[in-house]
Structure 1
Amino acid sequence: KALVAEKKRAEAARAQEKPHDVAQEKKRVEGAEKKNRAEDARARERSEKEAEEQAKAQNTAQDKARAEAKKKAIGLAQARQVLLAKKTGDNYKVLGLDASASTQDVKKAFRRIALVIHPDKLEDEIAEPAFKALNSAYEVLKDPEAQRQAQQEKERQEREEAEEAARRRQAQNSYFYNDYFSSYQRHQGGSNFRGTHGAQSH
Structure 2
Amino acid sequence: MADVLLFHHIQGLTAGVRAFADAVRADGHTVHTPDLFGGRTFASIEEGFGFAQEVGFEELRARGLAVADDLGPDVVHAGMSFGVTIAQRLAQTRPGARGALLLHSCLPVTEVSDAWPAGVPVQVHGMEGDEFFDEDLPAARELAASTPTAELFVYPGEQHLFTDSSLDAHDPGAVALLLERVRAFLASV
TM-score after normalising by structure 1: 0.21
In terms of Rg, which structure is larger?
1
Instruction: Tell me which protein shows more strand as a share of its residues.
Output: 2
TM-score under structure 2 length normalisation: 0.23
